[in-house]
Structure 1
């Protein structure tokens, strides 16, 4: 497996889209990490209400007088942590279930996988978040922020792994029938070595795709839950910002700087993940790279027709006997 990673490392990190996507995502993380330790003003400090952007407040202030840039910086990292955690958990669950379900195959394995995936696909995430919200309301005096995030991550992950697991299982079923896998079984290679050293590198692109999907899904689900007021609003994250933007009518009062402060980290992350996905697609299928068009000459020289010379027949064919 190490040979596989050494072979793909150079072409993987020389792809311009992959590098650009990673840099953009790191910019978003840099905003969140800096905001966890330093902000231009304390988040709880208040100034004038709904002040437009100025040299003192680059993104103005909100309806409560808080500096929007400070609130945005403090809210970015928690949202990113939830997104990365949900994405990693979805990728791990879907990959493991797809790997083992596809490798061992059989009708029993197929039935078990189908039951699990159908169960996961039929659990609405919104209803699960409502249940989580009821738990928060009942235990609001004892629950801490860390535990609340853990519950959200687990709740979102267990409703989102099934589709990826079915894709990976279908791919593994095909790979397991190839000659080199059959040969490894015949020589007595251990199953776990075949799965992780030979099959896993082949389905790694699908795992990365599940990770990217899970990150974006986790962040957007957290923001949606906070925006609807399903989760507690005393936690700094981008969803809380949008909740207060909506509940205080920032759209109607034209407080565009407040809205901009909430969506800037989302836009940066979305752009980074989109560009990164393009690069991964190009790495998986090099045919997607731009093909330079062939140079067509401006003028095509057509050779002049040569004069046809008629050669007379020598004698009559009928008389040649």
Structure 2
């Protein structure tokens, strides 16, 4: 029995998982040393917790204008109204908490779509040679030069209006940068000796991609993911600000659009504009801090500096 356990412990699969656990532990230790990364992560955790607890902290009836007839409109920030009220008497802090749910959902979901497409196309463009790799590179170049915001606007107008339409529009227009980075890393890995050794031993395309290329590019994909979430949140806010979002749901972009509709900036209702604007800036900054910290860890060149 002991011999069997020792043999299993020394199996290639168990050794691989042991290396991954050590690598993950080392990554966590390195990340914990980054003050900016930890600050950004802590801020994001607070925002995510508030968004998840929105039904508890701010029940849905607090957004129903028919139940807020006694609420003052355009009330400035005070003890009674911490972030002020909007043109319909709704508390801005309530709208911001509920809006965080939509903005974060779109940010994470659109980034997931973008990362999946970019990783698959990037690995394929770097691994396959000949006309296949050339065709994939031309597709990547096309999406790189195409104005992504304009394409996202077109998709949002053509498709039925809703949150998932925005997710698809952002995801389908923001993957090219990731694909370019993944392709460069794939070409670097392809030139290493163990890839050639795997080919000589009879490894097929699927084995090389899954066992060797994908684990090698995942750290860069992870670093790029944290940076892309912030861009996706900005894109969602832009589309909602332009009136292309779901009018029945709260988002930070829709709050900004409402403030524009009532000319809050020129009428002196500064809190109506600043609150959602600062929230977007802080969340995007937090994702950027986390992304830079992760990029510093996974990129040996930056880590050496």
Task: Specify the TM-score bucket, using the shorter chain as the normaliser.
Answer: 0.7 to 0.9
Matches within 5 A, 1:266-277: 266-277=280-291
Checking the alignment, whether the CA contact within 8 Å between 1:97 and 1:165 is kept in structure 2 is: yes
Match of 2:222 among 181, 193, 208: 208
1:117 corresponding residue in structure 2: 140
Mapped to 2, the partners of 1:269 and 1:10 lie a distance apart of 26
Task: Give CA deviations for 1:52-89 in whole Å, capped at 9, x if unaligned.
Answer: 12222111111221111111111111110000011111
Match of 1:128 among 140, 144, 151: 151
Note closer, same or farther for the CA distance 1:175–1:242 as it changes in structure 2 (3 Å cut). Answer: same
Note closer, same or farther for the CA distance 1:232–1:135 as it changes in structure 2 (3 Å cut). Answer: farther
Match of 1:87 among 91, 105, 111: 111
Greater RCO between the two (CA within 8 Å, min separation 6)? 1
Matches within 5 A, 1:1-321: 2-14=17-29, 15-16=31-32, 17=34, 18-39=37-58, 42-45=62-65, 46=68, 47-104=71-128, 106-135=129-158, 148-285=162-299, 288=302
Give TM-score, length-normalised by structure 1: 0.78
Structure 1 residue 285 displacement after superposition: 4.0
Mapped to 1, the partners of 2:195 and 2:210 lie a distance apart of 12
Could you list the runs of 5+ residues in structure 2 that have no partner in the other structure? 1-15
Structure 1 residue 204 displacement after superposition: 2.0
Note closer, same or farther for the CA distance 1:111–1:288 as it changes in structure 2 (3 Å cut). Answer: closer
Corresponding residue pairs, total: 281
Note closer, same or farther for the CA distance 1:126–1:281 as it changes in structure 2 (3 Å cut). Answer: closer
Task: Give CA deviations for 1:173-227 in whole Å, capped at 9, x if unaligned.
Answer: 2211211111122122343232222222222232123312331222111111121
Checking the alignment, whether the CA contact within 8 Å between 1:94 and 1:161 is kept in structure 2 is: yes
Report the structure, 1 or 2, having the larger helix content.
Answer: 2
Judge which range, 29-38 or 279-288, deviates more.
279-288
CA RMSD of superposed structures (Å): 2.5
Larger radius of gyration: 1
